[in-house]
Amino acid sequence: MSDKAKLKIGGREIELDLITGSEKELGIDVSNLRVSSNIITLDPGYKNTGSCKSAITFLNGEKGILRYRGYSIEELAEKADFLEVAFLLIYGELPNKEELEKLLNDIKENSIIDEDIKKILESFPKSAHPMGILSSLTSALIAFNPEKKLSLSGNEDQDYMYNSIVKLLAKIPILVAWVHRRRKGLPLDYGDYSLGYVENITKMMFQMPNLEYVQNDTLVNAMNKLLILHADHEQNCSTSTVRIVGSSEASLFASISAGISALWGRLHGGANQAVLEMLEAIKKDGGDTKKFMSKAKDKSDPFRLMGFGHRVYKNFDPRAKIIKVTADQILNELGIDDPILDIAKGLEKEALEDDYFVDRKLYPNVDFYSGIIYKALNIPNEMFTVMFALGRIPGWIAHWREMRKNNEPIGRPRQIYIGETLRNFSDIESR
């Protein structure tokens, strides 16, 4: 195949380069289109537009493939530890024993948070949504960890970048645990750094005051798997937000804070909370899934089947498959008989046999079953998207670092103007 594309407009023929990725994906390079033709492309929602070349995560939506740095999500979810996956996403290789031990030790050394952050946390009303609190506290961390412009070329900047990454990996889990515990009226604590990374996260979240903490391996394993499954997903809405905010040379912490806000939306990470609220509404309404399926297909009804459909996957979301099996395992191991799971399975079965969903290739996505596990782990609905954000931190860091190392230009899309043409100002009496 030629490595050129030809664009014919009127009598003109414009030749554009074709880019081929390592998985044989093809892209037309339009980076010089406007300069050479004064023409731009238009693509609301960027459904057909690549924003960058990236070596971090590969998705194949038709085949339901997801790989982090070439490793399949199935293998990582089964065999890896979340901190190993964080290292893999950020640095491109699985860590050896020394590298992983160093990362965990450096995280422990950075696991103190200025007491003034607690005062900011305490200033939020109890009703404040945890995602708004987490985004604010992440941004507030900048005040206590002043950052500088990173060129990422010199060794000093590499060390500085490493320190910023370690601070985020150290402090975000504490903030997540604090937000969770404050909502439950529990004392805040820093956890136990003699434990592993995920073990400590679960202890910080679930340790009850005045009671000896007994680690529940089912819970730790479930948390580890969920964090790995949420760790990255190439150029989704919140990751693209982190990249574009970082492209202005805003700091890593500020870019991650923006990513948290983008993830909050119910069409994106907020869907896991919306799925549980939908399933609970169906249960309360008597479990009539057909009624809700009809609402989801009715264009005059704003109701959508939350947890279904995906911009990229036009086959099963491989994460949903893993989470569905894990949900079954966990509910069995914890001896929980939750009718919500049966409603979810019933809804899935009906949707997979319904022409509307089949024709539009709408399958369960990562958010459809994850809330059932969070609920079984006694995490409240409003904290579900915070758990998604906790998992996505390494992916956001990896993309911010890649964008800065590649010295990518500031993100600034163009537009097609459809407003008023030139007109003269008129004084108020004549309007």
Residue 305 binds ligand SDX, judged by CB under 6 A: yes
CB of 134 to ligand SDX, least distance (A): 17
Measured CA distances, 181 to 55, 315, 316, 400 (Å)? 37, 38, 35, 30
Contact between 307 and ligand SDX (CB under 6 A)?
yes
Beta strands in 302-376, from DSSP E residues, in sequence order: none
Q: Please tell me the distance from the alpha carbon of residue 384 to that of residue 277, in angstroms, as a whole number.
A: 11
| Listed ranges 29-37, 213-221, 305-313, 322-330: which one lies at the site for ligand SDX (CB under 6 A) | 305-313
Whether the Cβ atoms of residue 82 and residue 199 lie closer than 8 Å to each other: no
Applying CB under 6 A, which of residues 69, 171, 180, 233 lies at the interface with ligand SDX? Answer: 233
Is 281 near ligand SDX (CB under 6 A)? no
Mind giving me the DSSP string for 259-286? HHHHHHSTTTTTHHHHHHHHHHHHHHTT
207 binds ligand SDX (CB under 6 A): no
Q: Which is nearer to ligand SDX, 40 or 267 (CB)?
A: 267
Helix (H) or strand (E) holding 174: helix 155-183
Residue nearest to ligand SDX (CB): 309
Please state, as a whole number, how many other Cβ atoms lie within 10 Å of the Cβ of residue 41.
14
- Count of CB atoms situated within 10 Å of the CB of 142: 15
Whole-angstrom distance between the N-terminal and C-terminal Cα of the chain? 61
Tokens linked to 264: 């909050």
User: Taking CB under 6 A as the rule, does residue 310 contact ligand SDX?
Assistant: yes
According to DSSP, residue 410 is labeled P
- CA contacts within 13 A on the Cβ side of 47: 6
Told to check if 231 binds ligand SDX by CB under 6 A, we report: no
Closest CB to ligand SDX among residues 82, 308:
308
310, 317, 354, 399: the active-site residue = 310
Helices 130-144, 252-264: axis angle to 10 degrees equals 180
d(CA 351, CA 348): 5
Is residue 180 within 8 Å of 121, Cβ to Cβ?
no
> Which position among 129, 304, 345, 405 is part of the footprint of ligand SDX (CB under 6 A)?
304
Q: Is the dihedral of CA 112, 113, 118, 124 positive or negative?
A: negative
Residue from the set 84, 367, 382, 402 that interacts with ligand SDX by CB under 6 A: 367
Q: Which of 161, 296, 343, 403 binds ligand SDX (CB under 6 A)?
A: 296
List the one residue from 40, 143, 208, 267 that touches ligand SDX (CB under 6 A): 267
Q: Which is closer to ligand SDX, CB of 108 or CB of 321?
A: 321
Instruction: State yes or no: is 310 an active-site residue.
Output: yes
Least distance between ligand SDX and beta carbon 215 (Å): 29
* Residues binding ligand SDX: number (CB under 6 A): 22
236 binds ligand SDX (CB under 6 A): yes
Backbone φ and ψ of 385, nearest 5°: -70, -25
Is 268 considered catalytic here?
no
Least separation in angstroms between CB 305 and ligand SDX: 4
Which range, of 23-31, 34-42, 361-369, 371-379, touches ligand SDX by CB under 6 A? Answer: 361-369
Q: Which residues would be at the binding site for ligand SDX (CB under 6 A)?
A: 45, 233, 236, 267-269, 271, 296, 304-312, 360, 362, 365-367
Active-site positions read 310, 367
